[in-house]
């Protein structure tokens, strides 16, 4: 079949749309809406138009979850920050304290670094009970101990009643990048190649659904716990077993779908997933089905997505499954060449569909 | 997941597709799925990709958000921006553009807008905030109208008078008639709406075969339901029958849900006419609160502009809703009108044909190969 066929009218329209989508996102709104905080397209437009515009530099332009900085010693330092506004402050499986440590530890770990030092800043609303604050800080101390980080500096602000919803926490962490040998040229979307495999370290959607149900608005009850956990140990085991790992991300806000869309764009590759291979707990799947949410868009706080070369995929899975935090690790898809920038999923039913970035957030304030 | 996975079984799907191929025998046939829930399933599971190319699915008007005209959105926003009001609605409505932005924009400007999953949640908010006016933006066909009716009855029983409903409920039969009367559309049959039919039953559709000579099969919302609905339509055509059939027997009874119908009749009355997005005014197609419930009618309690706002010129939602054009054939599809910056309602709701096509189906190249395990 060498005969070239003219593209159909529909294909012409689709190509035009793809070209349109590759344009820089534009910030059109006059006011910030909740969509700007949802991690999807509106967030990208906001970051591009406001923050990147003002602070523009090469490190920031990578738009990773953290920065990798070259030290005079030749070592490289990973640096990341994150704020936590989860509501409610306590949910099955953890609290804002656990999240505040694990979230930032994981961002640093995803850059192949060993998180070591952390800052913690608190914005507290007038009237907040001290016993509750103590309990949350105790959770942070416990999480820091299990993650192997030390909280070495901090800040406290109190705002008027009504000016914050109880408690907000910001944490930052730094750590030295571990993979500096000649065999491990660092983790980057630029290293992702067609044929590489996409792995997830365990079941998806647990955190977002646990928090949503904990709010009690839905009158749904299910035995679902947040997966909040530090991933630095898992990353070290993975990088030892699969030293040519190309790229790592923790699929927090926006879920697996959002981080893979970011990868597809940044690496200019096509990502194909297999719906039947996605590990999702039964109760999570059931709750999502009732709420009309796809677990692939739901936040995780103790999972990572790894892209590894095909010959290291099996070793990577074995290494992850050997740890409790990676017990349900699974192969979920692979990288292809064409069409770039798009994530596609083969449905369990035998069809397929695009997995796009979300517009707006079905589950706001879950971290 | 039990009771769901059974209806998504790939082997059963292949068998159904083989039946569709045999029964249709290459004949080009167009079936309209009336309900937005079907449209969503079709795209989410990639059903068009497993169907033979001679079977064409046309997306119908049964998306509750899509049919709301701009003027009603403006009225809702005017109520939402009234001082002291807590305005509630299903999440789908948040992003629907009015002539001065959406409810989400109104929220950013300071309106107290809260997303609810049920009108009863809105009533609970009213109970918890006795010094505020709580308004529920009611939308939907006969599927959601009974829950609004029950909520209003509960509000009356409990004497909750800081609660009111901005009623935009519509009925399914009048737009079906409008589509069947439409000269620019040639259809071979209908996949009848499943959820609406759990309430109204199958009898109201008898005019479709009787007066217009088109078969209709009420179908469920899982992918196998839809494939089986198509098989049943094809069997009717092959056997020279033309009738209303029920694929969704596990949920739909011929007579419908009599209790829900009674409650609706106790609370609502039919409006003489109601405007539909892109389809104009359709007589006897909308519901309003009857005299008994007038004290809970937000349209009487608040002053709303009540102005008819013409659809943006570029928007072809009406033609999409009537199935005259495919979403991608609209002039602004995917460029000026996207889920981030929707011009038309069909691009907003997950049940809208444009949003479903844009989010799930915007990919028409060769079929993909399954991922092999490591």
CATH code, A169:
3.30.1330.10
pLDDT of residue B365 exceeding 70:
no
User: Cα separation of A273 and B133, whole Å?
Assistant: 47
Q: Are B332 and B341 in contact (CB under 8 A)?
A: no
Task: Check which CATH number belongs to the domain holding A337 and give it.
Answer: 3.90.650.10
CA proximity to A205, closest of A219, A220, A225:
A225
Least confident of A26-30, A159-163, A248-252, B98-102: A26-30
Instruction: Give residue B374's pLDDT.
Output: 40
Inspect the interface and report whether the beta carbons of B108 and A218 lie closer than 8 Å: no
User: Cα separation of A23 and B250, whole Å?
Assistant: 48
Instruction: Give residue B277's pLDDT.
Output: 87
User: Cα separation of A263 and B93, whole Å?
Assistant: 31
Beta strand spans in B99-212 (E): 112-115, 133-140, 163-169, 189-192
Cα four-point dihedral sign B234, B237, B240, B244: positive
Domain boundary among A157, A177, A197: A177
Inspect the interface and report whether the beta carbons of A348 and B10 lie closer than 8 Å: yes
Beta strand spans in B107-220 (E): 112-115, 133-140, 163-169, 189-192, 216-218
Beta strand spans in chain B (E): 29-35, 55-62, 85-89, 112-115, 133-140, 163-169, 189-192, 216-218, 244-246, 268-270, 273-276, 280-283, 287-289
Q: Is residue A215 part of a domain?
A: yes
Cα four-point dihedral sign B42, B43, B49, B55: positive
Buried b (16+ CB within 10 A) or exposed e, B249-264: eeebeeebbeebbebb
Stated length of chain A: 367
**A353/B contact by beta carbon, under 8 A:** yes
A 213-232 residues with CB < 8 A to B? 217-218
* Between B306 and B188, the higher pLDDT residue: B188
Closest alpha carbon within chain A to B372: A333
Among A351, A354, A361, A363, the strongest candidate for a mutation testing the B interface, having the largest count of B CBs within 10 A, is A351
**A364/B contact by beta carbon, under 8 A:** no
Q: What average pLDDT does range B210-224 have in this prediction?
A: 95
Structure tokens at B196: 């609406």
Q: Are B36 and B351 in contact (CB under 8 A)?
A: yes
Whether residues A195 and A172 fall in one domain: no
Q: What average pLDDT does range B127-146 have in this prediction?
A: 96
Which CATH superfamily groups domain B5-62+185-246?
A: HypD, alpha/beta domain 1 (3.40.50.11750)
A185 confidence band (pLDDT: 50, 70, 90)? low
Domain boundary among A177, A209, A244: A177
Structure tokens at B286: 């909308």
**A10/B contact by beta carbon, under 8 A:** yes
DSSP SS3 for B204: helix
Q: Is residue A15 part of a domain?
A: no
pLDDT of residue A1 exceeding 80:
no
pLDDT of residue A171 exceeding 80:
yes
Inspect the interface and report whether the beta carbons of B361 and A353 lie closer than 8 Å: yes
Instruction: Give residue A8's pLDDT.
Output: 79
Radius of gyration from C-alpha coordinates of chain B: 21
Buried b (16+ CB within 10 A) or exposed e, A121-158: bbbbbeebeeeebeebbebbeebbebbebebeeeeeee
Percent of chain B whose pLDDT exceeds 90: 64
Inspect the interface and report whether the beta carbons of B363 and A14 lie closer than 8 Å: yes
Inspect the interface and report whether the beta carbons of B334 and A310 lie closer than 8 Å: no
A297 confidence band (pLDDT: 50, 70, 90)? very high
| pLDDT tens by residue, A204-250 | 999 999 999 998 777 778 899 999 999 999 999 999 999 999 999 99
Cα four-point dihedral sign A87, A92, A97, A101: negative
* A88 cis-preceded (ω within 30 degrees of 0): yes
Least confident of A14-18, A129-133, A186-190, A297-301: A14-18
Whether residues A131 and A233 fall in one domain: no
pLDDT of residue B366 exceeding 80:
no
User: Cα separation of A255 and A303, whole Å?
Assistant: 10
Q: How far apart, in Å, do the first and last CA atoms of chain B sit?
A: 25
Closest alpha carbon within chain A to B373: A331
DSSP SS3 for A55: helix
Comparing CB atoms, the residue among A14, A29, A41 nearest residue B362 is: A14
Q: Is residue A168 part of a domain?
A: yes
Inspect the interface and report whether the beta carbons of B360 and A342 lie closer than 8 Å: no
User: Cα separation of A340 and A194, whole Å?
Assistant: 10
Whether residues A151 and A232 fall in one domain: no
B186 confidence band (pLDDT: 50, 70, 90)? confident
| pLDDT tens by residue, B27-65 | 999 999 999 999 999 988 889 888 999 999 998 888 888
* Between A323 and B373, the higher pLDDT residue: A323
In Å, how far is A147's CA from the nearest CA of chain B? Answer: 30
Q: Are B213 and B226 in contact (CB under 8 A)?
A: no
Least confident of A33-42, A195-204, B187-196, B276-285: A33-42
Inspect the interface and report whether the beta carbons of A353 and B360 lie closer than 8 Å: yes
Least confident of A113-117, A166-170, A257-261, B315-319: B315-319
| Residue B32 CA, distance from chain mean position | 14
**A347/B contact by beta carbon, under 8 A:** yes
CA proximity to B27, closest of B228, B317, B238:
B238
Comparing CB atoms, the residue among A33, A285, A310 nearest residue B108 is: A33
Least confident of A209-218, A316-325, B171-180: A209-218
Among B50, B123, B316, B360, the strongest candidate for a mutation testing the A interface, having the largest count of A CBs within 10 A, is B360
Whether residues A152 and A219 fall in one domain: no
Residues of B in contact with A31 (CB under 8 A): 105, 108-109
Q: What average pLDDT does range A75-88 have in this prediction?
A: 94
Residues of A in contact with B334 (CB under 8 A): 13-14, 16-17, 20
Whether residues A211 and A300 fall in one domain: yes
User: Cα separation of A205 and A195, whole Å?
Assistant: 26
- Residue ranges of domains in chain B: 5-62+185-246
Inspect the interface and report whether the beta carbons of A20 and B94 lie closer than 8 Å: no
Q: What average pLDDT does range A94-104 have in this prediction?
A: 97
In Å, how far is A152's CA from the nearest CA of chain B? Answer: 37
Whether residues A231 and A311 fall in one domain: yes
| pLDDT tens by residue, A350-367 | 888 999 887 766 666 766
DSSP A75: -
Structure tokens at A157: 């602000």
The residue range of the domain holding A145 is: 64-177
The neighbouring-strand residues paired with A123 are A157, A168
* B23 cis-preceded (ω within 30 degrees of 0): no
pLDDT of residue A153 exceeding 60:
yes
Residues of A in contact with B320 (CB under 8 A): none
Whether residues A173 and A195 fall in one domain: no
Please indicate, yes or no, whether the overall pTM of this predicted structure exceeds 0.90: no
Q: How many domains does chain A have?
A: 2
Whether residues A216 and A322 fall in one domain: yes
B46: region left, alpha or beta (phi > 0 left; psi from -120 to 50 alpha):
left
Least confident of A27-41, B124-138, B242-256: A27-41
In Å, how far is A127's CA from the nearest CA of chain B? Answer: 22
Q: Is residue A16 part of a domain?
A: no
pLDDT of residue B77 exceeding 70:
yes
A 292-321 residues with CB < 8 A to B? 292, 310, 313-314, 317
The neighbouring-strand residues paired with B64 are none
Residues of B in contact with A342 (CB under 8 A): 363
DSSP SS3 for A22: coil
Residues 6+ apart with CB under 8 A from A2: none
């Amino acid at each position: 079949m060498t005969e070239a066929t003219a593209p159909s009218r529909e294909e012409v329209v689709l190509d035009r749309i793809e070209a349109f989508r590759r344009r820089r996102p534009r910030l059109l709104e006059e006011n910030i809406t909740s969509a700007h905080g949802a991690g999807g397209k509106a967030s990208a437009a906001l970051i591009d138009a406001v923050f990147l515009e003002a602070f523009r530099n090469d490190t920031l332009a990578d738009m990773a979850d953290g920065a990798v900085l070259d030290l005079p010693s030749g070592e490289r330092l990973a640096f990341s920050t994150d704020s936590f506004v989860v509501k409610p402050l306590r949910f099955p499986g953890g609290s804002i304290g656990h999240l505040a440590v694990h979230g930032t530890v994981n961002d640093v770990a995803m850059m192949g670094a060993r998180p070591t030092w952390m800052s913690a800043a608190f914005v507290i609303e007038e009237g907040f009970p001290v016993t509750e604050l103590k309990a949350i800080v105790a959770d942070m101390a416990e999480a820091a101990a299990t993650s192997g980080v030390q909280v070495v500096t901090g800040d406290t602000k109190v705002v008027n009643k009504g000016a914050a919803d109880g408690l907000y926490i910001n944490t930052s962490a730094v750590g030295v990048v571990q993979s500096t040998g000649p065999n491990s040229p660092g983790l980057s979307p630029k290293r992702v190649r067609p044929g590489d495999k996409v792995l997830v370290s365990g079941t998806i959607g647990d955190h977002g659904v646990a928090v949503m149900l904990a709010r009690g608005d839905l009158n749904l009850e299910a035995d679902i716990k947040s997966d909040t956990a530090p991933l630095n140990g898992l990353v070290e085991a993975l990088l030892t077993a699969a030293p040519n790992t190309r790229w790592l991300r923790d699929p927090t806000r926006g879920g697996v779908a959002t981080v893979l869309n970011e990868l597809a764009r940044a690496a200019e590759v096509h990502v194909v997933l297999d719906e039947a291979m996605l590990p999702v707990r039964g109760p999570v799947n059931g709750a999502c089905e009732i709420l009309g949410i796809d677990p692939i868009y739901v936040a995780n706080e103790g999972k990572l997505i790894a892209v590894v070369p095909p010959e290291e995929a099996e070793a990577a899975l074995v290494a992850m499954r050997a740890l409790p935090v990676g017990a349900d690790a699974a192969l979920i898809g692979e990288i292809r060449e064409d069409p770039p920038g798009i994530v596609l999923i083969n449905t369990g039913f035998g069809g397929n569909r695009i997995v796009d970035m979300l517009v707006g957030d079905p589950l706001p304030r879950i971290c | 997941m039990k009771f769901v996975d059974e209806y998504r079984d790939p082997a059963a799907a292949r068998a159904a597709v083989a039946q569709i191929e045999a029964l249709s025998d290459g004949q080009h046939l167009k079936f309209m799925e009336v309900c937005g829930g079907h449209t969503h399933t079709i795209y989410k599971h990639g059903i068009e990709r497993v169907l033979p190319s001679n079977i064409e699915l046309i997306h119908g008007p049964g998306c509750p958000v899509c049919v709301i005209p701009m003027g009603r959105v403006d009225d809702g926003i005017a109520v939402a921006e009234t001082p002291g009001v807590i305005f509630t609605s299903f999440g789908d409505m948040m992003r629907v553009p009015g002539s001065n932005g959406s409810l989400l924009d109104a929220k950013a400007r300071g309106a107290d807008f809260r997303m609810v999953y049920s009108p009863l949640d809105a009533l609970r908010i009213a109970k918890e905030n006795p010094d505020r006016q709580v308004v529920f933006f009611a939308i939907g066909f006969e599927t959601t109208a009974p829950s609004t009716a029950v909520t209003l009855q509960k509000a009356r029983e409990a004497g909750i008078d800081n609660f009111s409903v901005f009623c935009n409920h519509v009925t399914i039969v009048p737009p079906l008639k409008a589509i069947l009367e439409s000269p620019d559309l040639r259809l071979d049959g209908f996949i009848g709406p499943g959820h609406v039919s759990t309430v109204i039953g199958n009898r109201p559709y008898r005019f479709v075969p009787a007066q217009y000579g088109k078969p209709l099969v009420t179908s469920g919302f899982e992918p196998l339901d839809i494939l089986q609905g198509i098989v049943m339509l094809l069997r009717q055509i092959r056997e020279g029958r033309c009738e209303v059939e029920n694929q969704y027997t596990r949920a739909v009874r011929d007579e419908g849900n009599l209790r829900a119908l009674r409650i609706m009749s106790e609370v609502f009355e039919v409006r003489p006419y109601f405007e539909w997005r892109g389809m104009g005014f359709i007589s006897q197609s909308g519901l309003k609160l009857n005299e008994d419930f007038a004290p809970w009618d937000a349209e009487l309690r608040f002053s709303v502009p009540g102005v008819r706002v013409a659809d943006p010129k570029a928007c072809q939602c009406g033609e999409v809703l009537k199935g005259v054009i495919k979403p991608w054939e609209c002039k602004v599809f995917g460029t000026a009108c996207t889920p981030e910056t929707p011009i038309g309602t069909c691009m907003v709701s997950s049940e809208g044909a444009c949003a479903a096509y844009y989010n799930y189906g915007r990919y028409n190249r060769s079929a993909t190969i399954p991922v092999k395990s490591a």
